[in-house]
Structure 1
Amino acid sequence: MVRLTIDGTACEAAEGALLIDALSAAGKMVPHLCHDDRLIPSGACRLCIVHVKGQTHPVASCSTEVAEGMVVQTRSDTLDALCRTNLELIAARYPRTAYAADPRHPFHRLLAKYDVPPGGKFEDGLFRDDSHPYLGVGMDRCVYCERCVRICEEVQGQFIWEMAGRGDATRVAISKGPTLLSAGCVSCGACVDTCPSGALFDKRIVSKPTAWTRTTCAYCGVGCQMDVGTANGRVVAVRPADQPVNRGHLCVKGRYAFEYNHASDRATQPMLRRDGRWQAVGWSEALDFTAAQLQAIIARYGSDAVGVLASSRATNEENYLAQKFARVVLGTHNVDCCARVCHTPSAKALKTMLGVGAATNSFDDIEQAHAFLICGANPTENHPVVGARIKQAVLKGARLVVIDPRRTELAALADVHLPVRMGCNVPLFNALAAAMIEEGRIDRAFLAERVSGFDTFAAHVAAFAPERMAEVCGVPADAIRAAARIYADSRPAMCFHGLGVTEHLQGSEGVMALINLALLTGNLGKPGSGINPLRGQNNVQGAAQMGCDPATLTGSQSISRAGPRFEQIWGHQLPTGRGLDVLEMMDAAKAGHLKALWVMGYDIYLSLANATATAAALAALDLVIVQDLFVNQTAEAFGTVFLPAASAFEKEGTFMNSDRRVQRVRAVVTPPGQARPDWWIIQALAARMGKPKGFEFETPQQIWDEVRSLWPDGAGLAYARLEREDLHWPCPAETHPGTAVLHRDRFFASKTAALVPVAYVPTSEQTSDAYPFLLTTGRGLHHFNAGTMSYRTPNAVLKPSDTLDMAPADAACHGLVEGDMVEVSSRYGAAILPLHISDAMQKGQLFCSFHRPDLLINRLTSAVRDRLVHAPEYKVTAVRVKKRDA
């Protein structure tokens, strides 16, 4: 800390801190226009000037660092006069009408404070843009602070805005294309968020917020913190919070795609299907019917004839109750969640090899990494805030290797892009390991102290030399070797992986092969390193961690070891039979063994692979209970009971993000109609089934306290701490600081971890004359999963449809042009969607997202599953394509 004096008062500030921040901490706010805490200081507006003893002229506090003994004066007649003069120059060509219409903008408040009227001498013909559904542009109100240019460059890294012209003719302009939409804007809203004058503005705010509430984003697993503005019982605005995960930034979904919460087709009443049609009923009737049906099925077929699917959209507290309900009320371990189909392979591999089935490092480590290995993930689209942080690190000099069949945005920035052939991750990862060992690019000290099984592993991967695997993987050997050198030599190196690794026949084994690379190079147990799955949904990590898994209890604890403690606290014996995962439930339903299914916040008909087989399974059930915000595809086609749930904006609790942070969720509005939080519904049904004991919580906090009593690694995560601290588990006590980096000194089971030789097992999904293309599926920037939320917002304007992405050479060969409607057929089904010709695609390989329910892309995907945990192989399907006749 350094000591300084501000207006006669002794103060302290961190060494290297900006003077403007020290002034703010001391309660001495100075005027400014060009300053934003998220940006590199520029000192351009000269409004934040102060006197510093020993300096001949006033200095800009936003670009001056504090120094020991500094003496600062913030107010004087000279400073006021200089500030007023600078404001007059800035305001000379600012429109009076804008000033009068909205006095709340920071620039307007400054004008009022210093009694400086706008000059009104603005130019005609300055850039305006009304094409974007969210962002409005009126450059007649621009004050040339350049914050929009800088934040697009320094935070998002999109470079949409630029300063064009020279001298007095300098103007803020779009860098490419005539409009924001055509220029590549990703609609993050950062430029609007930073603009002090209203030149850039949110078009969707029709009511001024009367209250703001801090909560956690309900889209991807990054866990961005945001402030939600409400008025008249509705969500009307969202702005980013300056918290460690997102650092004052949001993506297009988190910031703008909230209007689903008040959509006209929101389900607000319980319903029963009678005579083939939904009929609205009260809660008592719906609960009585559901309880009676479940009891009758259990009485006739046994407890294991019922399954429960919890939700990655729900809170930790609600997911905990869901699995407790399955085990205590129903008497079955048949409970799972959508983690099964995305990152259960990650959890399996990480827990098997390292002892904990979660990310090893924090997002805070991104800025400490010297290199990144991005495997089967597209962070700038699927986890945009983390993607932007990675992009910024690369722009500042970090090395980057991207392994992905497509040339993604990060692949275009990479030092090396390995466009691996779909289904060939394991031989490629083994080839990287072989190259590192052959060239001596391994951390021998780390291997000697922390790793076992090296000799056996080295002998195994010797057969996977890059020159041997090049043809198998579709990647040149010299590129494989170049990638190996970057990851091995640029330590610490941080590995992120996504569903392009896990959703394969060898998904779990693919993650194991990545862990091998980290063990070989010592990239574990230190900041800026590790193996880090990018979780897809807001609480998919939490849902699994709460015990929504047939083989583990809360805290990912084994039933055999932790079971007695759970039985003691719950006052109930655990089931003795083996539970089924979601894929096994579908098999059991089709075979007639599973009779009832309760599905919470999870549209399984739309989102499970091989939709035809899913439909056959759901149709065979006697009872399908759907609990959601909307009557989704599963409910519409197969539902027996519909229970309306509250959204994340309407309830209290916690989410768990990708890097193991537990963060608060807060209610900002009340649920519509008779919609209720999931935890309320679970408890009400437990009571109707005659087992209210253990389901009589009055608040989510009480539920969470029971979770902490059962989960040693979460015992320290009390609500009181979560209100003020940003904590990672493990956090075993309320005095513990949390654990941002795992495995610093030892792995959970022992001091050492073993390298695992992984054999290559090719998928059965191979091309043929009848099916000459390989299709992979994934998410896009503007929409999310089944489109349930995002397609009920103006994001549907930004991305109206899923498309089939094809390489230009393939399109030309088949006589196809941009926008053609094409029929894509696999061995399992067909889908019709528009064609997009993309340079990101390799010849012979295709991509499409799966967000539009009416397209039902999962009619195409196969029945192939991960060999260890049954995650479907969404990432490789052999298909053919033909143009649809008009």
Structure 2
Amino acid sequence: MDAAQVRVAIDGRELSFPAGLTVLQALRMSGIKVPTLCHDDRLAPVGECWACAVELVPATGLPAHHRPACREPLLDGCSIRTDGAALDEFRRNLLEQLATRAAPDEMERFPDKALHQALREFDILPRADASPPEAIDVSHPHIRVDMERCIACRRCVRICEDLQGESVWHVFGRGETLRVATGGGVPLAESPCVGCGACVDTCPTAALTDASAWREPPATTWTRTVCPYCGVGCVLDIGTADDRIVATRPALDGPSNKGHLCVKGRYAYDYVDADDRVCAPMLRRDGQWQRATWDQAIAFAAEGLRRIVSEHGPDAVGVLGSARATNEENYLIQKFARVAIGTNNVDCCARVCHTPSAAALKHMLGTGAGTNSFDDIEQARTLLVVGANPLENHPVVGARIRQRAKHGAHLIVIDPRRTGLAGIADIHLAPQPGTNVPLFNALAHVLLAEDLVDHAFVDARVDGLGTFASFIQAWTPERAAALCGVPADDIRRAARLYAQERPAMCLHGLGVTEHLQGTQGVMALIDLALLTGNLGLAGTGINPLRGQNNVQGAAVMGCEPGTLTGSQRLADARARFETAWGVPLPRSRGLNVLEMMDAARSGALKALYVIGFDVLASLANATETAKSLERLELVIVQDLFLNETARRSGHVFLPAVSSFEKDGTFMNSERRIQRVRQALTPRGQARSDAETLCRLVNALGRGAWFSRHRAEDVWDEVRSAWPAVAGIDYTRIDQQGLQWPCRGPDDPGTALLHAEHFAHGKRAVLERIDYQPTTEYTTAQFPFLLTTGRNLHQFNVGTMTGRTGQQLLRPTDTLDMHPYDAGQLGLDDGTQVRVASRHGQAALRLRITDAVAPGQLFASFHDPARALNQVTSPVRDCVTSAPEYKVVAVCVTPA
């Protein structure tokens, strides 16, 4: 027998199993079901309820005894009995006692709860009366709490602690007085609960349930798909009834989420049927939006585009793809720009967030994507989190980082604010906004000055050490400290930790990229990884946390002016695509979205076709963006709602569908291609972006080049155009996604890039990045530096979350200010204030918090009514033109 197998007897049958299983796992593999009440596969087994007890004979000649199957290791030669009079009586007695914690209507409403299942299997009637209203906590918009139904299994306590890490639920008392409640017994809405729903998932009774389950019918169909929010790529199951979403739940085998979701992925889906969703085409006539037929809207858009191209040339048109659209749709979008219009003026919202990461990674390592996988978090000894707040912006990954830190990994956080992870970090470096490059250079200085360089790695794979060492010699920690405000000794401590406690994994966010030196800031981080050998190994790498569900895919599909599908440079791949598409590609350089706004303002750009991207609400320096849009002769908006761009400047509105109403694929931050599946019928006359594009190209007379619009067919065209995904077909990713490169049918995909060589060759070159200060600076008139970003409960400009129950958790944006500054200005918490910069102003409510440093402010931008981007500056990244959202000088006065 194979050494990796154990042989056992189960109910008289001789069976063999892989070593290392528990008895419960073996029973499930054998198709034998025993009740479990305290067990959850995501948690370490504790065997407290004993509902899964079996009769176990450890080895021949030893006496039999009862043991909980969930925590008992499966031993070679053991004998297991799962039924019999004694076991049946034991389980029945246990369940008879617990029947007082279940009511008949709850059994019907929640048939999948573990206790309810067990009671049905043993024909035991529930014996609980309805709970009194005062015993039920409905303070939270998403979770209903009824501890009259609690059986003290502690699953909620353990999953909140061990998976999410919030420690909302606590055990009080012992024995018969034992009870589970929030800390201090406060209502759930007043607790630290982040609304992830893990406690609801794990609860075996109706003690913790989704609030929506009490007003919606049970799901009749479940469809597996991918979350439409951030770039983590959580896999979830959508429960529908009567063609409506009534529930969601995390997929236990989701590669990146592993049975977990955040509050948005779990509960923020009501936007699909929001009252103001636009489900029919519209045209603006006499200054008013009026309903139109599809034929009318398409004809109007096509005629406008045809006229502008005829009169001004194809480069008078700009096309914007969408991070919310599928890979297949974004492929068609960039093909539409280049083939149907004849321009390279195509871009997407990656420009305003992570194009700097892609450009830096492409330039230095050969591939503009994250180097490692989320699973590497659990393999890292040190985690370096830079300019990111994953507990709020990528909550599932944030929870994994926090759990890894709790279990022994070192944590370094670089962020101006004291974020949740900064509060538990070994070292928190809080640089003055706009001074990342001096700080990163000082870290590199320490690596060389103290000989913390991995010389074997550098000798084998890195060039330019000599010239880099000469350059970095001037960037002492003391010099950097004077610029960025971080103590020199702390810089030294962080450099030593990153270099010595390896493998060290770097994860960064928009706090690195959305700066004048955003691209160069990422390059400086790559320098640190190259110097220490923290590349090409598990638990290492440079890993951007992508902000939207498919922002990585939108850019990689070719929604950028200088690249084609697969981020292949236009100059390099032109001939191959011309052969594949049968048409010459445009020769012009192409404009990115910021350059499109400049061209519109100057009169050179005449038309903009924008898909799933609210340009006016998203771009910095919104006043100037509005002026640019107003000068356009034709603005075609394709979206779910009349967004701010459509309201102010649109001429044609084409109704799109949500990701729940179509098929395709998304690409997450770790390069994983995953299936998106249709769970709902498209609402009204709304159509997928692919179908709408094909209608438009037919009207333009270019339909012969767009014969494919079915998602799988388009993906097969992508595979033929981009060799790195040739091995990823729909059949292979039906159950679980694959990471590119994946070049053939037998290729398992690539979880780790640059293991033996870089994408562009065997050696990488260190970059010397000098400091270029931002033009935003404080004065007596503008004494504060404002940083913008996201929060847990809302998403981007609120297009989706603003139409869900998330509004009850975070109804609008606030301005965060340190207590000292608020005291100096005589401002109270909750005061309505006016925040003004050299570029514009906005009104927000003040939130006083010591998470920001004196002299610094923070605000999110989710509420279009606040229009915070009127305040942000026109400064752009010096390499990619990404806006500098992260630093602007402002003043604050009472509104």
TM surpasses 0.5: yes
Following TM superposition, by how much is the alpha carbon of 1:444 offset from its aligned partner in structure 2, in angstroms? 1.3
Select between 604-613 and 428-437 the one with higher mean Cα deviation. Answer: 428-437
* Residues 218 and 101 of structure 1: CA distance in aligned 2, closer, same or farther (over 3 Å): closer
User: How far apart, CA to CA, are the structure 2 residues paired with 1:563 and 1:10?
Assistant: 63
Q: 2:153 aligns with which of 132, 145, 148?
A: 145
Q: Confirm whether residue 227 of structure 1 aligns to residue 257 of structure 2.
A: no
Alignment of 1:460-859 (within 5 A): 460-859=471-870
* Residues 293 and 71 of structure 1: CA distance in aligned 2, closer, same or farther (over 3 Å): same
Following TM superposition, by how much is the alpha carbon of 1:486 offset from its aligned partner in structure 2, in angstroms? 1.4
Name the SS for the 1:720 alignment partner.
coil
Q: Confirm whether residue 376 of structure 1 aligns to residue 379 of structure 2.
A: no
Q: Confirm whether residue 283 of structure 1 aligns to residue 294 of structure 2.
A: yes
Q: 1:305 aligns with which of 316, 320, 328?
A: 316
User: How far apart, CA to CA, are the structure 1 residues paired with 2:107 and 2:544?
Assistant: 48
Give the match for residue 139 of structure 2: 131
User: How far apart, CA to CA, are the structure 2 residues paired with 1:446 and 1:745?
Assistant: 11
User: How far apart, CA to CA, are the structure 2 residues paired with 1:617 and 1:11?
Assistant: 72
Give the match for residue 87 of structure 2: 79
Following TM superposition, by how much is the alpha carbon of 1:363 offset from its aligned partner in structure 2, in angstroms? 0.6
Following TM superposition, by how much is the alpha carbon of 1:454 offset from its aligned partner in structure 2, in angstroms? 1.1
Give the match for residue 449 of structure 1: 460
Name the SS for the 1:153 alignment partner.
helix
User: How far apart, CA to CA, are the structure 2 residues paired with 1:671 and 1:647?
Assistant: 8
In structure 2, give the amino acid aligned to 1:209: A
* Residues 784 and 125 of structure 1: CA distance in aligned 2, closer, same or farther (over 3 Å): closer
Name the SS for the 2:842 alignment partner.
strand
Give the match for residue 162 of structure 2: 154
CA contact (8 A) 2:102 2:206 kept: no
Q: Confirm whether residue 19 of structure 1 aligns to residue 30 of structure 2.
A: no
Following TM superposition, by how much is the alpha carbon of 1:213 offset from its aligned partner in structure 2, in angstroms? 0.2
In structure 2, give the amino acid aligned to 1:183: S
Following TM superposition, by how much is the alpha carbon of 1:118 offset from its aligned partner in structure 2, in angstroms? 4.3
Give the match for residue 4 of structure 1: 7
In structure 1, give the amino acid aligned to 2:741: P
Select between 608-617 and 434-443 the one with higher mean Cα deviation. Answer: 434-443
User: How far apart, CA to CA, are the structure 1 residues paired with 2:334 and 2:709?
Assistant: 18
User: How far apart, CA to CA, are the structure 1 residues paired with 2:315 and 2:110?
Assistant: 62
* Residues 408 and 14 of structure 1: CA distance in aligned 2, closer, same or farther (over 3 Å): farther
CA contact (8 A) 1:51 1:72 kept: yes
In structure 1, give the amino acid aligned to 2:226: T
Following TM superposition, by how much is the alpha carbon of 1:103 offset from its aligned partner in structure 2, in angstroms? 4.8
User: How far apart, CA to CA, are the structure 2 residues paired with 1:319 and 1:117?
Assistant: 55
CA contact (8 A) 2:255 2:736 kept: no
CA contact (8 A) 1:509 1:758 kept: yes
* Residues 516 and 86 of structure 1: CA distance in aligned 2, closer, same or farther (over 3 Å): same
Cα displacement string for residues 522-546 of structure 1 (whole angstroms, at most 9, x for unaligned residues):
1100111100000000000000000
CA contact (8 A) 2:224 2:238 kept: yes
User: How far apart, CA to CA, are the structure 1 residues paired with 2:745 and 2:531?
Assistant: 36
Give the match for residue 246 of structure 2: 236
* Residues 462 and 30 of structure 1: CA distance in aligned 2, closer, same or farther (over 3 Å): same
User: How far apart, CA to CA, are the structure 2 residues paired with 1:90 and 1:177?
Assistant: 24
In structure 1, give the amino acid aligned to 2:575: P
Following TM superposition, by how much is the alpha carbon of 1:96 offset from its aligned partner in structure 2, in angstroms? 6.2
Give the match for residue 181 of structure 2: 173
In structure 1, runs of 5+ residues without a counterpart are none
Q: 1:58 aligns with which of 63, 66, 69?
A: 66
User: How far apart, CA to CA, are the structure 1 residues paired with 2:821 and 2:15?
Assistant: 67
Give the match for residue 30 of structure 1: 34
Name the SS for the 1:311 alignment partner.
coil
CA contact (8 A) 1:2 1:66 kept: no
Name the SS for the 1:456 alignment partner.
helix
State TM-score, norm by structure 2: 0.97
* Residues 404 and 101 of structure 1: CA distance in aligned 2, closer, same or farther (over 3 Å): closer
Following TM superposition, by how much is the alpha carbon of 1:72 offset from its aligned partner in structure 2, in angstroms? 2.1
Cα displacement string for residues 313-368 of structure 1 (whole angstroms, at most 9, x for unaligned residues):
00000000000000001000000000001000000000000000000000111111
Give the match for residue 434 of structure 1: 445
In structure 2, runs of 5+ residues without a counterpart are none
* Residues 184 and 9 of structure 1: CA distance in aligned 2, closer, same or farther (over 3 Å): same
CA contact (8 A) 1:538 1:657 kept: yes
Cα displacement string for residues 437-493 of structure 1 (whole angstroms, at most 9, x for unaligned residues):
212222111111111111211221121111221121111111111111211111111
CA contact (8 A) 2:690 2:709 kept: no
Q: Identity over the aligned pairs, expressed in percent?
A: 55
Q: Confirm whether residue 208 of structure 1 aligns to residue 212 of structure 2.
A: no
Following TM superposition, by how much is the alpha carbon of 1:65 offset from its aligned partner in structure 2, in angstroms? 2.1
In structure 2, give the amino acid aligned to 1:210: T
Cα displacement string for residues 208-248 of structure 1 (whole angstroms, at most 9, x for unaligned residues):
11100000000000000000011111111111001111011
Q: Aligned residues, how many?
A: 884
In structure 2, give the amino acid aligned to 1:2: Q
CA contact (8 A) 2:171 2:179 kept: yes
In structure 1, give the amino acid aligned to 2:33: M
Cα displacement string for residues 120-164 of structure 1 (whole angstroms, at most 9, x for unaligned residues):
499989953111111000000001111000000000000000101
Following TM superposition, by how much is the alpha carbon of 1:52 offset from its aligned partner in structure 2, in angstroms? 2.3
* Residues 123 and 652 of structure 1: CA distance in aligned 2, closer, same or farther (over 3 Å): closer
Cα displacement string for residues 44-80 of structure 1 (whole angstroms, at most 9, x for unaligned residues):
0001111222364111111122233333222222211
Name the SS for the 2:223 alignment partner.
strand
Q: Confirm whether residue 296 of structure 1 aligns to residue 299 of structure 2.
A: no
User: How far apart, CA to CA, are the structure 1 residues paired with 2:110 and 2:707?
Assistant: 50
User: How far apart, CA to CA, are the structure 1 residues paired with 2:402 and 2:790?
Assistant: 19
Following TM superposition, by how much is the alpha carbon of 1:104 offset from its aligned partner in structure 2, in angstroms? 4.6
Q: Confirm whether residue 386 of structure 1 aligns to residue 397 of structure 2.
A: yes
In structure 1, give the amino acid aligned to 2:402: K
Q: Confirm whether residue 114 of structure 1 aligns to residue 122 of structure 2.
A: yes
Following TM superposition, by how much is the alpha carbon of 1:204 offset from its aligned partner in structure 2, in angstroms? 1.1
* Residues 827 and 721 of structure 1: CA distance in aligned 2, closer, same or farther (over 3 Å): same
Following TM superposition, by how much is the alpha carbon of 1:176 offset from its aligned partner in structure 2, in angstroms? 4.2
Instruction: Give me the CA root mean square deviation.
Output: 1.5
CA contact (8 A) 1:240 1:249 kept: yes
CA contact (8 A) 2:787 2:888 kept: yes
Give the match for residue 69 of structure 1: 77
Name the SS for the 1:719 alignment partner.
coil
Name the SS for the 2:189 alignment partner.
coil
CA contact (8 A) 1:554 1:711 kept: yes
In structure 2, give the amino acid aligned to 1:64: E
* Residues 698 and 457 of structure 1: CA distance in aligned 2, closer, same or farther (over 3 Å): closer
Give the match for residue 47 of structure 2: 43
In structure 1, give the amino acid aligned to 2:364: M
Select between 787-796 and 3-12 the one with higher mean Cα deviation. Answer: 3-12
CA contact (8 A) 1:98 1:141 kept: no
In structure 1, give the amino acid aligned to 2:850: D
CA contact (8 A) 2:816 2:849 kept: yes
Cα displacement string for residues 668-688 of structure 1 (whole angstroms, at most 9, x for unaligned residues):
001111100000000110000
In structure 2, give the amino acid aligned to 1:198: A
Following TM superposition, by how much is the alpha carbon of 1:97 offset from its aligned partner in structure 2, in angstroms? 6.4
Following TM superposition, by how much is the alpha carbon of 1:117 offset from its aligned partner in structure 2, in angstroms? 3.9
Name the SS for the 1:777 alignment partner.
strand
CA contact (8 A) 2:694 2:709 kept: no
Cα displacement string for residues 541-574 of structure 1 (whole angstroms, at most 9, x for unaligned residues):
0000000000000000011211111111101100
